[in-house]
Amino acid sequence: MSDKKYTQKAVPSSRLSRFASIGGMAASLSGNIIKNTMSAAFKAQKPNTQNTLLNINNAHTITKHLANMRGAAMKIGQMLSMDAGELLPAEWEPILALLREEANSMPKAQLLAVLQQNWGDDWQDKFAYFSFEPIAAASIGQVHRARLKSGEDLAVKVQYPGVAQSIDSDIDNVAGLLKLTRLVPKGLDIENILEQAKTQLKQEADYYTELGFLQQYHRHFADDPRFIIPRAHEALCSRHILCMEFIDARPMAELAYEPIALKNEIVSNLFDLVFSELFRFRFTQSDPNFANFLYQPESKKLVLLDFGACITLSENTSVGYLKMARAMQSQNREDMLKALLELGLLNPQTPDSAIQIVIDACDTASEVLQTDCYNFKQTQIIQRLQKQSQGLITEKDAIASPEFDVALVNRKVSGTVMLANKMNVDIKLRDLLAPYIEGLTENKEPI
């Protein structure tokens, strides 16, 4: 676990204070735009609002404000920082990476107020030890290490005050900023996506719901020797506090320094977990944040954390992705198009020029299933696909608005690929997918 010391800043818990934070960020962005526009004018350059919005100063501004707000505002920022890819300047990456890894922590006084509200004034009588310094801080809550008088070591996740009540207003306010930046493709139904994001985030903010998801993962994977799933301590759980056993393990970022054989094994097991979620159980933890996984070098086991973002997949989504995998393995462009239409990633109104770009990109991506072992980093497949897909930016109707679970599966798969790329590992994707593809026929369900 991390020994990092977190910066303590009170979480703005009222709607007014959170609106003021968004307003402060918008004012700072506007100030940067004016400053950069004036600078361009003095240099006899044509002012470009889009370029000034993407200025490095704005990366600092956005990161600072969202890390302080936490809650839905920061969560949306995390999602955008992971999905933006090459749309953002390279200078943004190390700054926005902080949004994916950590938030500020709340001060002790604010923490104590949450603990007392949920456990009562005598809550400390239950513990032999409780660390007020968090071991992790994220968008919805922060995690503390504790030990019960009975000797059990616990990880205690405490939700930030006010974030559950401010989800709707946070997302509405962030949506206004998205429109300001004009980074959202014209054909994307952003309003529908954000409405579904509100539902998803309200689910994540209910720790009783997450407790149920954690128990469901136990039913699916508890007997799998490759994974460790912490057990909940239900007696201390509430809607705003989730207690589970503490598992001593390392952040996935540290896996980069391990021997290649261990990296290959851990990331391969993660891909196999993703495929089991999508095609076997149709139930997945949809947040690909690297912080949701730990690993144990000695046992070579993957530790699964944070189950708030779980979703049940529709049969259409699960089978549709499997059909897409089969089409890519056989490099059948006609079947690729059928699968993309079934998934809603393309629609009948999509221009032929855009369809051609998408199918060409899928054809390129199909190389991952043509060899016994594949390395995303060494083949530079991500960079090649980004370059190949640049033409979609100018196609205003190219981006379809799929069902929400399809969009979340895209993020989950993309996030797993990004991790494999970061770790420079060799993955036997064809072998991992083979049992599911072989089980897919017109009259037979996937295994």
pLDDT of residue 367: 96
Question: How far apart, in whole angstroms, are the C-alpha atoms of residue 52 and residue 58?
Answer: 8
Q: What's the whole-number mean pLDDT along residues 297-315? A: 93
pLDDT of residue 396: 52
Question: How far apart, in whole angstroms, are the C-alpha atoms of residue 140 and residue 150?
Answer: 29
How confident is the model over 168-195, as pLDDT tens digits?
A: 777 777 666 666 555 555 555 567 667 7
Q: Which residue has the higher pLDDT, 120 or 196?
A: 120
Q: Which residue has the higher pLDDT, 30 or 267?
A: 267
State CA 96 to chain mean position distance. 13
- pLDDT of 160 > 50? The answer is yes
Do the bridges between strand 293-296 and strand 301-304 make them parallel or antiparallel, or are there none, so unpaired? antiparallel
Q: Tokens 């196999």 — which residue?
A: 272
How confident is the model over 45-62, as pLDDT tens digits?
A: 333 434 444 444 555 555
How confident is the model over 377-410, as pLDDT tens digits?
A: 999 999 999 888 877 765 655 566 677 788 889 8
Q: What's the whole-number mean pLDDT along residues 275-282? A: 96
pLDDT of residue 356: 93
What is the DSSP secondary structure assignment for residue 280, as one 8-state letter?
A: I
Judge contact between 411 and 284, C-beta under 8 A.
Answer: no
* Interior angle at CA 100, CA 358 and CA 36, nearest 5: 80
Judge contact between 321 and 347, C-beta under 8 A.
Answer: no
pLDDT of residue 273: 97
Judge contact between 437 and 322, C-beta under 8 A.
Answer: yes
pLDDT of residue 35: 41
Residue 347: which pLDDT band, with cuts at 50, 70 and 90? confident
Question: How far apart, in whole angstroms, are the C-alpha atoms of residue 104 and residue 290?
Answer: 18
Q: How far is CA 306 from CA 66, 79, 211, 291, 336, in A?
A: 20, 16, 10, 9, 33
Residues 6 or more apart whose CB falls under 8 angstroms from that of 148 comprise 126, 127, 128, 154, 233
Helix, coil or strand: residue 164: coil
Q: Which residue has the higher pLDDT, 126 or 407?
A: 126
Q: What's the whole-number mean pLDDT along residues 198-222? A: 91
pLDDT of residue 244: 97
Residues 6 or more apart whose CB falls under 8 angstroms from that of 381 comprise 364, 365, 367, 368
Question: How far apart, in whole angstroms, are the C-alpha atoms of residue 184 and residue 298?
Answer: 44
How confident is the model over 240-265, as pLDDT tens digits?
A: 999 999 999 999 989 999 999 999 99
Judge contact between 118 and 161, C-beta under 8 A.
Answer: no
Q: Which of 135-139, 281-285, 331-335, 424-428 has the lowest mean pLDDT?
A: 135-139
Judge contact between 416 and 274, C-beta under 8 A.
Answer: yes
The torsion of the CA quartet 434, 385, 60, 163, rounded to 10 degrees, works out to -40
Residue spans per domain, the chain = 15-101+169-186, 258-447
